Structure 1
Amino acid sequence: MMHRFAVRVYYEDTDLAGIVYYANYFRFIERGRTEWLRELGIDQAAMRRDSGHVFAVRRVEGDYLRPARFDDLLVVETGLSRLTAARIVLDQTVRRDSMALFAARVTLACLDDGGRPVRLPAALSDTLARQGHIAEK
């Protein structure tokens, strides 16, 4: 299942040339991941408060394909690539219309309140499993 999240490019997102500053793509995909989890019914604030679990980006591989510009309406697409007991790997693409501008593979690690890796919360694993995703052992 591909999740889509719209993002408008504001002046503050651009550099002197009027194109999106490269680091801002990471902000856009972060928002896309947060909204993806929210749509799945995962409340990250409640997860942290109730169990101390949080997600941390473990790895990002990004490809800048084409520039986005001031006032562009972009769509961040987020889809699950791989799921393990303690990690989620997502493929994310930022598009303008149907044109891919930025593509990333993001690995999220689940951590406890002490910053140590732990298994994903059962509710999240169950939610992903119900959508047809099988966790690797």
Structure 2
Amino acid sequence: MTDPNAEQPKHIYSVRVYYEDTDMGGVVYHANYLKFIERARSDYVRGLGNDQNAMRDDGIVWVIRRIEADYLAPARFDDELTIETHFISRSGVRLTMGQLVKRGETEIFRATVTAVCMNAQGKPVRLPAEIRALL
């Protein structure tokens, strides 16, 4: 297991805020931050060599077990956001990542996300060996 306080390499993903991402007040609707960080996590694990389609073919899928989120400042239409994702820890069945959404140098959203793998019957399974080896 990795020390959660140790500095970890960060994966960087960028996203632009479109009109459809905003609410009536002109700020990013709260649930859309979850979409942004999902895209960044998917890009992160893909970059590590995890083929989610192959996993699905084997009857295993990633599911989110827990998200702890802090909304720090609003993002608005046409903002360019950067999502930093880093590995925090893993066990035999869990993978925990930290994610930070920034506008320039301003931190606007922070989350800790725990993911697990499930089989086709909806039962939790151990992380595949190739995933454990990547981290």
Question: What's the TM-score, normalizing by structure 2?
Answer: 0.92
Matched, 1:81 2:100: no
CA-to-partner distance for each residue in 1:84-113, whole Å, 9 max, x for gaps?
001101110111111110000111011111
Distance 2:77 2:118 in 1: 36
Distance 1:81 1:126 in 2: 15
Q: Root-mean-square deviation (CA), in Å?
A: 0.7
What is the DSSP-based 3-state SS (H/G/I as helix, E as strand, rest coil) of the residue aligned with 1:120?
coil
Q: Which amino acid in the other structure matches residue 17 of structure 1?
A: G
Distance 2:82 2:113 in 1: 17
CA-to-partner distance for each residue in 1:34-54, whole Å, 9 max, x for gaps?
0001110111011111x2111
Partner of 1:9: 17
Q: Which amino acid in the other structure matches residue 72 of structure 2?
A: L
Partner of 2:66: 59
Distance 1:114 1:99 in 2: 42
Distance 1:109 1:127 in 2: 15
Matched, 1:28 2:28: no
Distance 1:127 1:108 in 2: 15
**Which residue, out of 96, 105, 117, partners 2:103?**
96
Matched, 1:122 2:129: yes
**Structure 1 residue 67: deviation in Å?**
0.2
Distance 1:113 1:98 in 2: 42
Question: What's the TM-score, normalizing by structure 1?
Answer: 0.90
Q: How many residues align?
A: 127
Following TM superposition, where does structure 1 have runs of at least 4 consecutive aligned residues deviating by more than 6 angstroms? none
Partner of 2:45: 37
* Identity fraction in percent: 50
